[in-house]
Amino acid sequence: MSSEVERRSRRSGGRPISVSFEFFPPKTPEMDATLWASITRLAPLAPKFVSVTYGAGGSTRERTHATVERIVKETRLAPAAHLTCVSAARGEVDDVVRGYWDAGVRHIVALRGDPPGGVGQAYEPHPQGYRTTAELVAGIRRIANFEVSVSAYPERHPESASFDTDLDILAAKVDAGATRAITQCFFDNDLYFRYLDKVRARGIDVPIVPGILPVSNFKQARNFAEKTGTHVPDWLSGRFEGLDADLETRKLIAAAVAAEQVFDLVDRGVTEFHFYTLNRADLVYAVCHLLGIRPPQEVAAGQGNGQAAA
């Protein structure tokens, strides 16, 4: 085992670091090829689970289900299917939940979902639907013994009046049966730890897993962040300034920024990470490598080399 991996292990208190990855369902054959190349690249890292998103207004329901079903059939990965309450009656949502269970899925990421008109539009529950994420979580757990993850917001949900409102909503989701919360992406680690303090003070004790967005395409990442109310600091903009046409340098900067963020989180006690991959594997793979997360054959080779040199 390399000295870098050993150092990270010591700083995490000897506890193993685990990761999970988020993908989105492809719209075209070309995007499908990119998605499956990324899944194939990341699968040997043995993530705790891989999640597949659900479009605004349930617009990708069939593609999400098809992607999740293929993961079940063709890989050893544990898929987590995103599910929202938007634009669907309870019966429709319940049928989707039962379909996932029948397909072998045992983990759902339950979300209220964005309005069909997109972020910024007023949210209106379906007249016969689940009104809140907490109701959705309870409905899922009534149907089968799923593991249920939900969202959390270190910088407050854009529609929430206050952090107290956000914490009330998170507490309701946990009381309904959620077992994990995954944060929206953030770029200031202090925001995560201040939020974690508030969550624990509220009596919420489920894991609050930091959502990490490695920035390879800064414009794309900024758009992603703005949709979730995530502040993009000036220092981050500055690091990518003038590199729009310089892909190779952007990749180097991206790896350095992501590594800096996750190493700081590890040094402060975090041992679980959820990566928003944007269906691109290389940067996430590199960061995982730096964290000491390697395919089994690489780990075995490294241990063997270390023993031979001792």
Q: Is 55 left (phi over 0), alpha (psi -120 to 50) or beta?
A: beta
Please give the structure tokens belonging to residue 21: 């990855």
**Distance (Å) of CA 135 to CA 101, 168, 189, 289:** 19, 14, 31, 39
Instruction: Clarify whether 22 is annotated catalytic.
Output: yes
Chain position carrying tokens 């964005």:
114
Taking a C-beta distance cutoff of 8 angstroms, is the pair 6, 260 a contact? Answer: no
H helices then E strands: how many in the chain? 12, 8
Taking a C-beta distance cutoff of 8 angstroms, is the pair 17, 292 a contact? Answer: yes
Taking a C-beta distance cutoff of 8 angstroms, is the pair 189, 264 a contact? Answer: yes
Active-site pick, 4, 6, 22, 147: 22
Question: Residues near 59 by Cβ (< 8 Å), separated by ≥ 6?
Answer: 116
Question: Residues near 33 by Cβ (< 8 Å), separated by ≥ 6?
Answer: none
**Distance (Å) of CA 231 to CA 127, 189, 228, 236, 301:** 34, 12, 9, 10, 41
Q: Residues 67, 68, 69, 75: is their CA dihedral positive or negative?
A: positive
Please give the structure tokens belonging to residue 272: 């679980």
Catalytically annotated residues: 22
